[in-house]
Structure 1
Amino acid sequence: MGQYKLLLIILIFSFQSCINAQADNNTSLGQSCSEFGNSSFLSASYKSHLSTLLDSLEKSVTAHNGFYKTSVSNDVYGLIQCRADVSTSNCANCTTNSINIARNECPNSKTATIFARWCFLRYEDKDFTGKELDEGSSMGTSNEELDETAVIAKGETLMGEIARNTSSEPMMYKVGVVDVGSAGKRYGMAECNRDMTRMDCGKCLDGLLTGLWTLLNKRGWEMYTSGCRMWYDDYQFYSNNFVSNPSLVSSAQADPNNIIVSSCAEFGNSTSHPLPDTYKSHVLTLLDNLSKFVTTHNGFYKTSVSNNVYGLIKCRADVYPSNCNSNSFYIALKECPNSKTATIFARWCFLK
């Protein structure tokens, strides 16, 4: 397999530069390649299959709501995932940039992992998709300025809550914010690869938090592994195109995706009137499928699971794909956890 050139890099950015930028940008953070010395070690067929794979990832990612995985001839496997809040055009640009980096920096590699702020690219000569991924390839960044002890404690609580709840989100992506008084606010975000199991997502984020003790006292930091990522800063770096907590949607938006009303068929509580575990599992599978496929079906998708639960999602025809896949899944899980039926009315979409 060759020798991995694994990267574990802590990059220190000046706090002043973060203040000046106050914006999210597609910084390329680095790559991990398995190098073979020269191209004679790669077969012509593998090179051809890898080129086909990268072309397919680049062409298909935006049509699949920012996440796409594929393989070529059972020879090379790959995935590309864009951060759930970035626009379609930014997702496409990040994908193109990351693929160019892979081709330029890892030209003789059978495997590569490319870390960027807006997207994550990985390919290998064995099927790694859907599995708890290698934690050896990881990357962290932070700014220089330290926070006060009280602020650090609130920030740790915020990120702990985000880590615990991300796996229950339909796209395994979550953001949050906490008020820290005179020091302003702190914003957090986490995501997992969308083909991971929810259990593996939780384990991956728990592992990140455990390894972040050297960064948690910083005013802003980011941490990336091949299975999950976390971000934390003193300004809202994420976009409102996708906000997993509807209370965080900006009132400044001209057309905000307000949740109008939710209607649930409640069974009291899960202790006295429990839903069968099979039904709960089918509901999660249904919501995952609705979330994954609505944007690839022109804003309307309906499906069922095992003739046990049926659902549909319809987005308003004028909203962007990134806005189409929005808060209704979160509301259904949060507000109707013990329901066999639910209807969610929002300004941008309708879920039942």
Structure 2
Amino acid sequence: MLQQAFSLSFLILSFIFSLFSVSTADSNIYCQCSQLNFTSTTPYESNVNSLFTSLTDSASVDNFNKFETSPQSDDTVYGLFQCRGDVLSKDCTNCVANSINQLRTSCPKSKGGEIQLEACFVKYGDTSFFGAENKMEVCKKCGPSIGYNSDVLSRIDSALAYLVDGNGQYFRGGDYGSIQGVAQCTQDLSLSDCQDCLLEASGRIRSECETSAWGDMYLGKCYIRYADQSNLNPPNGNDNSSPIKRNAKKNNLGLIIGIIVSIVLGTGLTIFVVCFVKKHGEFRKSKKKLEAAQKEAKAAKEKAEKLQKIIDEEKKRCFPFLPPACPDVPKPPPFPPCGLPPCQSKPPPCQCGRPPCQTSLCPFL
């Protein structure tokens, strides 16, 4: 029983640890909804729900997939998801599921929508967008200015050029000196279209963020991000670090908090379970003793009833002529001598406390 208690404590401790292992993979970067709405309980709503289920299921296997529900009908729904190239399968599944939940909340009746979280991207709509380029700026974020530092700005340019040229992959990332960068395209694009999209994003981020210590540029089908690690912790103590590094800080802090809280709660839970098991064992022992005593008392009662029955049967067999006990009746007055009055010709029936008449004492009968 004690071993089972510790096993239960370990399972609950693991669950608590998973809850407190905070991750910023689900941080919302942007969310957009179509202005066109669908009507409830229509085939289109059913197809949207079916698409969302397919996207979530597929995320446990792949980091990208696209679906088309009810093709060649007026209620066709198109959708895709893509997780960041360095994300684990479990985190990809969780991110896609969370994205869909947020879309259901933010775009409950919209015919289309898209959402970009830190670790994944989900999009759906009533018209096909597969393979189509989309260089429209969706979201831009720029960090604080570091001034005109030719050396740093030169490294930023080199890092962005490295990300654009890349290695012929949809996901590209790495460090270029003190500059950390990452870029990605949705995999429904061709590699040449991906290159064009990243080239456009790189040009915009350099022109719009200029001397910023970090910058994020999200277009319709790609994004590019950079951060100068040497200028993320200014002397004034303000946290102007880029999301790339800030997310790592949050992950580490969340992990530490999760470990501490898990240990405290797990220890307390283990002590509680051990005490509960001990008290439960004592209660069971007391209950067993009570049940044994009740069983013995019942057996003794049954034995006494059997003995009494045997005694009654033996009385009937050995003393068959014993008259039944008479009820309490008043004692009759004494009889006069025979002849005064004369005896009856027949003796009266036997009465309790009165013998029958002795006719042999009567000479006149």
TM-score, with structure 1 as normaliser: 0.54
* Corresponding position of 1:225: 219
Aligned partners of 2:82 and 2:49: how far apart in 1? Answer: 18
What do the CA deviations read for 1:106-155 (whole angstroms, capped 9, x no partner)?
1121111111111111111112112213x336112232242533201211
* Corresponding position of 2:363: none
* Corresponding position of 1:215: 209
More strand by share: 1
* Corresponding position of 2:118: 117
Matches within 5 A, 1:187-266: 187-212=180-205, 213-235=207-229, 237=244
Question: Which consecutive unaligned segments of at least 5 residues does structure 1 have?
Answer: 1-22, 180-184, 239-352
Q: Which amino acid aligns with 2:43?
A: S
Matches within 5 A, 1:77-88: 77-88=78-89
Would the aligned equivalents of 2:95 and 2:120 in 1 still touch at CA under 8 Å? yes
Aligned partners of 2:192 and 2:151: how far apart in 1? Answer: 31
Q: Which amino acid aligns with 2:223?
A: R
Identity %: 27
1:29 pairs with 2:23: no
The 3-state SS of whatever aligns with 2:163 is helix
Cα offset for 1:26?
A: 3.3
Q: Which amino acid aligns with 1:114?
A: I
What do the CA deviations read for 1:246-296 (whole angstroms, capped 9, x no partner)?
xxxxxxxxxxxxxxxxxxxxxxxxxxxxxxxxxxxxxxxxxxxxxxxxxxx
* Corresponding position of 1:252: none
Aligned partners of 2:81 and 2:200: how far apart in 1? Answer: 22
Cα gap change, 1:146 to 1:43, in 2 (>3 Å): farther
Question: Which consecutive unaligned segments of at least 5 residues does structure 2 have?
Answer: 1-22, 230-241, 246-365
Q: Which amino acid aligns with 2:28?
A: S
Aligned partners of 1:217 and 1:25: how far apart in 2? Answer: 27
Aligned partners of 1:211 and 1:83: how far apart in 2? Answer: 21
* Corresponding position of 1:153: 154
Would the aligned equivalents of 2:38 and 2:45 in 1 still touch at CA under 8 Å? no
Would the aligned equivalents of 1:81 and 1:193 in 2 still touch at CA under 8 Å? yes
Would the aligned equivalents of 2:143 and 2:215 in 1 still touch at CA under 8 Å? yes
Would the aligned equivalents of 2:26 and 2:98 in 1 still touch at CA under 8 Å? no
Cα offset for 1:173?
A: 1.2
1:96 pairs with 2:97: yes
* Corresponding position of 1:107: 108
70, 74, 78: which one aligns with 1:73: 70
What do the CA deviations read for 1:274-329 (whole angstroms, capped 9, x no partner)?
xxxxxxxxxxxxxxxxxxxxxxxxxxxxxxxxxxxxxxxxxxxxxxxxxxxxxxxx
Matches within 5 A, 1:167-182: 168-169=168-169, 172-179=170-177
Cα offset for 1:28?
A: 0.4
The 3-state SS of whatever aligns with 1:214 is helix
Q: CA RMSD in A?
A: 2.2
Q: Which amino acid aligns with 1:136?
A: M
1:163 pairs with 2:169: no
Aligned partners of 2:180 and 2:166: how far apart in 1? Answer: 15
* Corresponding position of 1:55: 53
Across the two proteins, how many residue pairs are aligned to each other? Answer: 204
Aligned partners of 1:221 and 1:137: how far apart in 2? Answer: 14
Aligned partners of 1:159 and 1:78: how far apart in 2? Answer: 30
Cα offset for 1:105?
A: 0.6
Q: Which amino acid aligns with 1:110?
A: K
Give 1 or 2 for the bigger CA radius of gyration.
Answer: 2
Aligned partners of 1:198 and 1:118: how far apart in 2? Answer: 21
Would the aligned equivalents of 2:38 and 2:44 in 1 still touch at CA under 8 Å? no
Cα offset for 1:53?
A: 0.1
Cα gap change, 1:26 to 1:231, in 2 (>3 Å): farther
Cα offset for 1:211?
A: 1.6
The 3-state SS of whatever aligns with 1:80 is strand
Aligned partners of 2:114 and 2:133: how far apart in 1? Answer: 15
Cα offset for 1:87?
A: 1.4
Aligned partners of 1:163 and 1:176: how far apart in 2? Answer: 12
Aligned partners of 2:145 and 2:139: how far apart in 1? Answer: 19
TM-score, with structure 2 as normaliser: 0.52
Cα offset for 1:203?
A: 0.8
Would the aligned equivalents of 2:214 and 2:227 in 1 still touch at CA under 8 Å? yes
Cα gap change, 1:43 to 1:156, in 2 (>3 Å): farther
